[in-house]
């Protein structure tokens, strides 16, 4: 498998588009790139790279994760390697690759065409930072990402309650995998670029009557500042920034963190609300 450079996008299925379009543009700060009766695509501050797609569907679920490889040649080599390992491959657009993970979710790969831009005047999110997945068989899913796709364990909570995985980028993690009562989305996160931009995003949400379900705070694993919100479907969407960057792979030693309040939020500003815990379990949006 060729090195995966970063997580680029996710796609969700939801029952109602209009409330979510309002939420992700007016409050969350994404740019609506295009929409139809059954789909909406959103970009971050650069205005050109799709980072979130919403599909109309009967049951809310995480539909697809899309990662970036360096080139179309890498996509071809990745496809050959994954076929050899018996991974299920499904039809994809030209110069792309889509496989099925052990939980039945689509994992897509595209070639890198990203133009990196900084924050804009409206403090819009820049890009997808990470996605955390709940899995009925977290060990099996973690093994797929590590042994088949080439991810590395950056850190984990004790008893494998949450495993943080990184790809071939300095960022501490772009995927988290947690045991769950069903296969579901725990939450997804967008990077705001700075604490100031993150707090402007929180302020933008509050101006339209949306308050956090957890945060602001700072996590121990990953070191990132966070603030979590509930979207109209019941998915948890997070603003983040200041994630640890690992520039020397050989010097980094994965750590097992105790699952206690002081590591979940080192600022001591409080733990997740009961609503956050319920939503992150994925019981309302399993799939």
CATH number of domain containing 200? 3.10.180.10
- Rounded CA Rg of the chain: 18
Q: Is residue 287 part of a domain?
A: no
Q: What confidence score (pLDDT) does residue 117 get? A: 65
For 82-133, write each residue's pLDDT tens digit: 999 999 999 998 889 999 999 999 999 999 866 556 777 789 999 999 999 9
Q: Is residue 167 part of a domain?
A: yes
Q: Which of 41, 33, 39 has its CA nearest to residue 9?
A: 41
Q: Three-class SS of residue 77?
A: helix
Of 111, 137, 156, the last residue of a domain is: 111
Distance CA 58, CA 53 (A): 16
Same-domain check for residues 149 and 273 = yes
Same-domain check for residues 268 and 139 = yes
Q: Is residue 51 part of a domain?
A: yes
Percent helix, strand and coil across the chain, each to the nearest 5: 25, 35, 40
Q: Is residue 206 part of a domain?
A: yes
Same-domain check for residues 144 and 225 = yes
Tracing tokens 């068989």 back to the chain, one arrives at: 137
Q: Is residue 143 part of a domain?
A: yes
Of 76, 111, 146, the last residue of a domain is: 111
Q: Which of 249, 171, 197 has its CA nearest to residue 5?
A: 171
Same-domain check for residues 150 and 43 = no
Q: What confidence score (pLDDT) does residue 282 get? A: 87
Q: What is the DSSP letter of 179?
A: E
Q: Is residue 39 part of a domain?
A: yes
Q: What is the DSSP letter of 213?
A: S
Same-domain check for residues 270 and 135 = yes
Q: Whole domain around residue 63: which residue ranges? A: 6-111
Q: Is residue 285 part of a domain?
A: no
Q: What is the DSSP letter of 37?
A: S
Give the residues of the chain that fall short of pLDDT 70: 1, 113-117, 286-287
Q: Is residue 222 part of a domain?
A: yes
**In three state form, how does the secondary structure of 160-171 look?**
HCCEEEECCCCE
Same-domain check for residues 46 and 143 = no
Same-domain check for residues 19 and 151 = no
Contact present, 264 and 155 (Cβ < 8 Å): no
Q: What confidence score (pLDDT) does residue 114 get? A: 64
Of 111, 142, 171, the last residue of a domain is: 111
Same-domain check for residues 141 and 192 = yes
Contact present, 44 and 201 (Cβ < 8 Å): no
Q: What confidence score (pLDDT) does residue 9 get? A: 98
Same-domain check for residues 182 and 56 = no
Q: What is the DSSP letter of 286?
A: B
Element (H, E) at 121: none
Ranges assigned E (strand) in the chain: 6-14, 31-35, 39-43, 50-56, 61-69, 89-90, 96-100, 106-111, 127-135, 152-157, 163-166, 175-179, 184-191, 214-218, 225-230, 236-241, 255-257
Angle at 107 between CA 105 and CA 109, to 5 degrees: 165
Same-domain check for residues 56 and 170 = no
- Number of folded domains that form the chain: 2
| C-alpha distances out from residue 207 to 1, 56, 256, Å | 45, 27, 39
Same-domain check for residues 67 and 186 = no
Same-domain check for residues 134 and 42 = no
Q: What confidence score (pLDDT) does residue 112 get? A: 81
Q: What is the DSSP letter of 148?
A: I
């Amino acid at each position: 498998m060729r090195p995966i450079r970063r997580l680029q996008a996710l796609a969700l299925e939801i029952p109602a588009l209009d409330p979510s379009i309002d939420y992700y543009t007016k409050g969350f700060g994404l740019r609506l790139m295009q929409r139809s009766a059954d789909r909406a695509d959103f970009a971050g501050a650069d205005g050109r790279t799709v980072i979130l797609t919403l599909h109309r569907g009967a049951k809310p679920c995480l539909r697809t994760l899309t990662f970036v490889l360096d080139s179309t040649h890498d996509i071809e080599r990745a496809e050959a390697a994954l076929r050899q390992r018996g991974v299920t491959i499904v039809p994809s657009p030209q110069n792309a690759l889509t496989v099925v993970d052990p939980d039945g979710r689509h994992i897509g790969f595209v070639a890198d065409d990203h133009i990196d831009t900084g924050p804009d005047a409206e403090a819009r999110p820049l890009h997808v930072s990470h996605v955390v997945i709940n899995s009925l068989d977290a060990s099996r899913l973690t093994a797929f990402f590590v042994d088949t796709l080439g991810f590395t364990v950056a850190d984990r909570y004790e008893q494998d309650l949450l495993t943080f995985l990184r790809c071939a980028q300095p960022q501490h993690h772009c995927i988290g995998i947690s045991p769950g009562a069903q296969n579901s989305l725990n939450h997804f996160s967008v990077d705001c670029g700075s604490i100031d931009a993150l707090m402007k995003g929180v302020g933008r949400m509050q101006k339209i009557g949306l308050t956090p379900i957890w945060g602001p705070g700072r996590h121990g694993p990953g070191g990132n500042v966070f603030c979590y919100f509930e979207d109209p479907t019941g998915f948890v969407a997070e603003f983040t920034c200041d994630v640890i960057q690992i520039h020397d792979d050989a010097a980094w030693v994965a750590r097992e963190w105790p699952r206690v309040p002081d590591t979940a939020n080192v600022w001591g500003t409080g733990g997740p609300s009961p609503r956050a815990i319920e939503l992150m379990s994925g019981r309302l949006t399993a799939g």
